[in-house]
Amino acid sequence: MKKLFLLTALSLSVSAGINAKSIDFIYDAGAKANIKKIHQDVAKSGGTLVDCIEEISVCKVSYPSIDAAQQSGLTLIPDASAFTPKVEKLPTDVNLLVTEANYSNPPASGDDDFFFDLQWGHQAVGAVEAWNAGNRGAGVRVAVIDTGADGAHPDLAPNINIELSASFIAGETWDYAGTDINNHGSHTAGTIAAADNGFGTIGIAPEAELVILKALSADTGRGSSYATMAAMVYAANIGADVANMSLGLGIRHNGLFDINGTPYDTSDDIRFQVGGKDGIAQFINTYSKAATYAKQNGVTLIASAGNEATDLDHTDSLVKLPADLPAVNSISALGPRLWGKNPSTYTDHLALYSNFGQSAIDFGAPGGDYMSAFMPGGRDLCTVAGITNVCFAFDFVFSTGNGGWYWSVGTSMSAPHAAGVAALIIGANGGNMKPAHVEAKLRELALDMGKPGKDDVFGHGKVQAPK
């Protein structure tokens, strides 16, 4: 098994420079890495080698200034910030947190996982029918590249491979999930593969194995592009079948990079050129090496399409990574309106915040929405599965958190629904399936919605589990 080359322990942090003023860059060393030569070349150019991903000949290096890196003569790009996508204008005047103490009545379905009836997304992708057909994700390994997860959560612990889970964030273990219930990685992991254990919720693929790979901080929701790349390569090296990436960054063809963990503030971005041109093309090419390596080594890659409500076919320059990479399946977000009042309502509206575009979207999946917060009756009280809340909250995606459960919305929530379906497909095929064949099966099973064929909302269609 190939391994990452680590020069310093826990060196894959966003700000892990050699000193407080240094800046981290990514160095694409070419076709085949020679660590000794890379070390010499970087030192000669005034930088310090921090870490390397040998498999793709990509390294993390540190320089005392932008000018020093620009004048190094090496093919460098800034180590741009990665983050959990933000949803703008999300209502904040509602409690979205749930603990076991909130449970009072069994769900109408009679399922012993007492919050299962809150999970409308499972019905939307046909998960129950897949389970009844014997497809539950057994023998499938899913890497969750995110903010870590609550390794002790009763819904998650039975399915987590503790030995293989890892952190790429300095000072945070993979199972550090922050200080409150809202842990992004726990939420995505639970949607994929919360255990069917007579408790709480159920994942789309409840018998799949989870490997938790922390590439973002549980405290800030931010990390580095290099950490995400390293996690993708690691996922391939440990034999992951699927990797879910409910994270990313948005870059524009203007040469500007966010390196300070402030993705929605461009005032502190830096401009960087490679070979006299803006470095965005080089950044995409380098980032793509990690995704291509993962796919070529058996990993079906799933990523959130982003939450800017942008038509990616007609934007002047916005590129979403990793979702827009050829090796990655980009997932838009769908949701119901007032599902808490009528569980048979349509669940496949394009969410208010979701990016879209025929050239960009591969599939649609449940991500939740908050449109009904502005509709008549949206702030009435509804009760589902023994839980009473404002009705619009039930249009969100319900899943595990840190020591509890919570509702959330975003393409961050749609991607794990698709990842769970991919796991079911692989499991139905005996647990071994090449990514190209998984993607072909996803297209075959997808429910064609909107315009016939690939369209700008659903891509090839809404993901559907194998029956």
pLDDT values of the chain reduced to their tens digit, one per residue, 467 residues:
333 433 322 222 223 333 446 899 999 998 777 888 999 999 999 999 999 999 999 999 999 999 999 999 999 999 999 999 888 878 878 888 887 655 544 444 445 778 999 999 999 999 999 999 999 999 999 999 999 999 999 999 999 999 999 999 999 999 999 999 999 999 999 999 999 999 999 999 999 999 999 999 999 999 999 999 999 999 999 999 999 999 988 777 667 888 888 877 878 888 888 877 778 889 999 999 999 999 999 999 999 999 999 999 887 666 789 999 999 999 999 999 999 999 999 999 999 999 999 999 999 999 999 999 999 999 999 999 889 999 999 999 999 999 999 999 999 999 999 999 999 999 999 999 999 999 999 999 999 998 898 999 999 999 999 99
Between CA 217 and CA 223 the distance in angstroms is: 6
pLDDT reported for residue 263: 75
pTM of the model: 0.92
**Closest of 213, 278, 264, 330 to residue 83, by C-alpha:** 264
pLDDT value of position 206: 97
Predicted pLDDT of residue 20: 47
Angle between helices 184-193 and 411-428 (to 10 degrees): 30
**Three-state helix/strand/coil letters over the chain:** CCCCEECCCCCCCCCCCCCCCCEEEEEECCCCCCHHHHHHHHHHCCCEEEEEEHHHCEEEEEECCHHHHHCCCCCEEECCEEECCCCCCCCCCCCCEECHHHCCCCCCCCCCCCCHHHCHHHHHCCHHHHHHCCCCCCCCEEEEEECCCCCCCCCCHHHECCCCCEECCCCCCCCCCCCCCCCHHHHHHHHHHCCCCCCCCCCCCCCCEEEEEECECCCCCEEEHHHHHHHHHHHHHCCCCEEEECCEEEECCCCEECCCCCCCCHHHCEECEECCEECHHHHHHHHHHHHHHHHHCCCEEEEECCCCCCECCCCCCCEEECCCCCCEEEEEEEECCCCCCCCCCCCCEECCCCCECCCCCCEEEECCCCHHHHCCCCCCEEEECCEEEEHHHHHCEEEECCCCEEEECCHHHHHHHHHHHHHHHHHHCCCCCCHHHHHHHHHHHCECCCCCCCECCCECCECCCCC
- pLDDT confidence of residue 89: 79
Backbone angles phi, psi at 147, to 5 degrees: -95, 20
Closest CA relative to residue 226, chosen from 78, 412, 65: 78
Is residue 345 within 8 Å of 395, Cβ to Cβ? no
State how beta strands 5-6 and 48-53 pair. Answer: antiparallel
**Residue whose tokens read 């999970």:** 119
| Phi, psi for 248 (deg, rounded to 5) | 155, -165
- Which domains does the chain possess? 5-79 (3.30.70), 97-445 (3.40.50.200)
Residue 285, pLDDT score? 94
166 in Cβ contact with 206 (< 8 Å): no
Burial (Cβ within 10 Å: 0-12, 13-18, ≥19) of residue 157: middle
| Beta-sheet pairing, 166-167 with 405-408 | unpaired
